[in-house]
Amino acid sequence: MKTKLVFALLVITCHAQAQFGSIFGRDPIIHLENFDKQRVHWGYFLGFNSYDFKIDQNRLNEEILCETSVGFNVGLVGDLRLHEYINLRFEPGLYYTQRNLTFPNFESEFDALREVKSTYIHFPLLLKFSSKRVGNVRPYLVGGLSTTLNLSSNSKARDDNSNNRFRMNQWTNNYELGFGIDIYLEYFKFSPSIRGVFSLNDELIRDNDPNSPWTSSVESMKTRGVFINFTFH
| Angstrom distance (rounded) from CA 111 to CA 6 | 58
pLDDT beyond 60 at 23: no
Q: Are 227 and 195 in contact (CB under 8 A)?
A: yes
What is the share, in percent, of the chain residues with pLDDT greater than 90? 77
For residues 19-40, give the mean pLDDT: 73
Give the pLDDT confidence of 34-90 residue by residue, as tens digits: 888 899 999 999 999 999 999 998 877 788 999 999 999 999 999 999 999 999 999
Q: State the average pLDDT for the chain.
A: 88
Q: Are 94 and 72 in contact (CB under 8 A)?
A: no
Written as one letter, the residue type at 129 is: F
Give the pLDDT confidence of 84-107 residue by residue, as tens digits: 999 999 999 999 999 999 998 888
Distances (CA, A) of 84 to 36, 42, 80, 131, 230: 8, 17, 11, 9, 23
In this prediction, residue 7 carries a pLDDT of 45
| Angstrom distance (rounded) from CA 76 to CA 98 | 22
| Dihedral angle over CA of 96, 78, 89, 94, nearest 10 | -10
Give the pLDDT confidence of 205-216 residue by residue, as tens digits: 999 999 999 999
In this prediction, residue 191 carries a pLDDT of 96
| Angstrom distance (rounded) from CA 98 to CA 95 | 10
| End-to-end Cα spacing for the chain | 39
In the chain, which ranges are continuous DSSP H helix? 2-24, 109-112
Phi, psi of 157 (to 5 degrees): -75, 140
DSSP string across 80-108: EE-SSSEEEEE--EEEEEEEEEE-SS-SS
In this prediction, residue 9 carries a pLDDT of 38
In this prediction, residue 2 carries a pLDDT of 40
32 confidence band (pLDDT: 50, 70, 90) = confident
Q: Are 205 and 169 in contact (CB under 8 A)?
A: yes
| Angstrom distance (rounded) from CA 104 to CA 66 | 12
Give the pLDDT confidence of 143-156 residue by residue, as tens digits: 999 999 999 999 99
In this prediction, residue 8 carries a pLDDT of 42
Give the pLDDT confidence of 166-187 residue by residue, as tens digits: 999 999 999 999 999 999 999 9
pLDDT beyond 80 at 17: no
Written as one letter, the residue type at 112 is: A
Q: Are 193 and 180 in contact (CB under 8 A)?
A: yes
